[in-house]
Chain A
């Protein structure tokens, strides 16, 4: 499965890429904010986009809505190191498949949400 990672922390992007690739995903690109994330999704057409909730320009919920409006929309999984419970309502409203806390990121967790 092809994955695009959108997160403003380069350290997290590097570790997430290593983990997801180790577990069998194909990471096709990385982006540091919503605008370049949307651009990369248009260009690379990944099957999955992993989106950080907090991004420097528009936030992850906004990016998720934009991605949902693409002609061939990818699945979106939101992630954050902040508390997921407080974000639950927003996660379901914006059209994401679900939320994974950053520390619990794994192929298993993502596959669970996509099933």
Chain B
């Protein structure tokens, strides 16, 4: 029984396994948050000066519990991703706002100091969502300004505000940090801070829109609800600040409530996104498994995985251990991008052997187990496709090496022919010329003349045989004068009338000319030997990446490549250059040999 396993590659992802998180810390945080959230409930209920007490209690509990629970869950699932921690931090910051509307002076004062911090953590959370990292310098600046504005720059407001100003009568809490109730300085400071806040909040909103537009389909699915809710909070707080600047205090609390309610939805949307993605992919996984059972057509696996993972950009790369490289389904080498190159790589293993890599959108790493599960489910099918790809790569290698062998054979034969021509042939020719001079010199001696004529006749025969041998090794006229002249020569040498109808006017690659020549030469030899023909014709045409060579005779027909070694050799020679050979030879109807040779 096979035991498919899958792993995720890349240093960035391996880091996930290295982050050790003590679950007791998470339990302690959850308990503390629950205690604070619930502890604030009676204090809100008894804050007599506070309108909308019931709404405050609901917001306290729902927002605090939501951010805490979902944050702790996300933190536990992905300890390497800061989103969980940011959500928990936001929950605690939120309790600052809640504390700022209670009556006990210490709590009220502390709440005032912390009352805007949740906006900064919300900005941090939104800009870092979903990877947990702030991707650009602009994001980092916005987050830094957010923290600065809600802490250090906010503090003067607390130091110069006396709560007695706000019509809370006798129940007013006391500001323990009050230095001086200087409303003139305080309001001027607050106006400046309000302008800064509006700029930051609108910039954050613009960044969210920009990031949403640039997101891939799977990433967009994950971020849309969270960005919508967060964007609503940003705009609501900006409206609140604008109302403050225009001294329309009466409407400002409504903006605050609207923003807070939208904000409260963020953790629930985040959770829904996780569940929905898992559900969609889970369903996709089920479909994948059932479709894999029906043996997808070659290359169809990629589409099945793309559908199952909801990521149309999925690519598959199969690992060939022998050359040690990745290839695609066609067996062609492919590059697998290094970590951080905008693509995520999930490696798939089977029986402990690395077999393939799934290249996908990094957004899927939000739930890496889904990709692993899909890879594991498809491991057997991936192994099958890998074997197909390996076979294709081997076929490619073989035809490449066959082409190299053909080429080197061609070069070697050409050199051999030249060596014969320049060496033995020239010496014998010189010898023939010497014999001729000698013969003239001994003309008066009939015995000597007879001996010399006999030697000369032997020499001529040797020269003929050598010439035939050299021509059989390589026809130099082909290299020197091209296919047209070479075929013309073949036609002249043939013992029957041969018409060369047409040949391409331009020179063709050596291997093509050589194969075409060989086809005509071999075909005409066969015609002379077996066909009992009265006439033959040769035609060479170029068309659509091919050179078509056709030799036709009017002889007896009946030639069969399966029996004749000449035709068999022709077939091998043509297929060695990637071509095809066709023999049509019905008894009594002549023979047509047609070769199609690839030629770009």
List A residues at the B interface (Cβ < 8 Å). 9, 11-12, 14-16, 18-19, 22-23, 53-54, 59, 61, 81-83, 85-90, 102-106
A113 to B314, CA, bound (A): 78
A82-B476, A83-B489 known; A106 and B436 CB under 8 Å?
yes
Partner of B470, one of A19, A61, A82: A82
Interchain residue pairs A-B with the least CB separation, the first 8: A86-B489, A103-B432, A15-B433, A15-B430, A102-B429, A81-B425, A86-B477, A19-B433
Pull 19 A–B residue pairs with CB atoms less than 8 Å apart, ordered by A: A11-B426, A12-B426, A12-B429, A15-B434, A18-B437, A54-B476, A61-B481, A81-B425, A81-B429, A82-B467, A82-B476, A82-B477, A85-B493, A86-B489, A87-B477, A87-B481, A103-B428, A103-B433, A103-B460
Please give, as numbers and ranges, the residues of chain B lying within 8 Å of A61 by CB-CB distance: 481
Partner of B480, one of A18, A59, A102, A103: A59
Q: For residues 427 through 443 of chain B, which have their beta carbon under 8 Å from a beta carbon of chain A?
A: 427-430, 432-434, 436-437, 440
Tell me whether A9 and B493 are in contact (CB under 8 A): no
CB distance from A88 to the nearest CB of B (A): 6
Question: Number of contacting residues on B, CB 8 A?
Answer: 32
Tell me whether A86 and B492 are in contact (CB under 8 A): yes
A18 to B477, CA, bound (A): 29
A19 to B428, CA, bound (A): 15
Closest to A9 in B: B426
A103 to B436, CA, bound (A): 10
Asked if B459 is at the interface of the complex by the 8 Å CB criterion, the answer is yes
Q: For residues 377 through 396 of chain B, which have their beta carbon under 8 Å from a beta carbon of chain A?
A: none
CB distance from B284 to the nearest CB of A (A): 70
A9-B426, A81-B421, A82-B470 known; A105 and B485 CB under 8 Å?
no
A11-B430, A81-B429, A87-B477 known; A22 and B437 CB under 8 Å?
yes
Given A22-B437, A83-B489: 19 more A-B contacts, CB < 8 Å: A12-B429, A15-B434, A18-B434, A19-B433, A19-B436, A19-B437, A59-B481, A83-B493, A85-B489, A85-B492, A86-B490, A86-B493, A87-B477, A89-B485, A89-B492, A102-B429, A102-B432, A103-B428, A105-B436
Tell me whether B489 and A87 are in contact (CB under 8 A): yes
Partner of B486, one of A54, A81, A86, A105: A86
Tell me whether A105 and B433 are in contact (CB under 8 A): yes
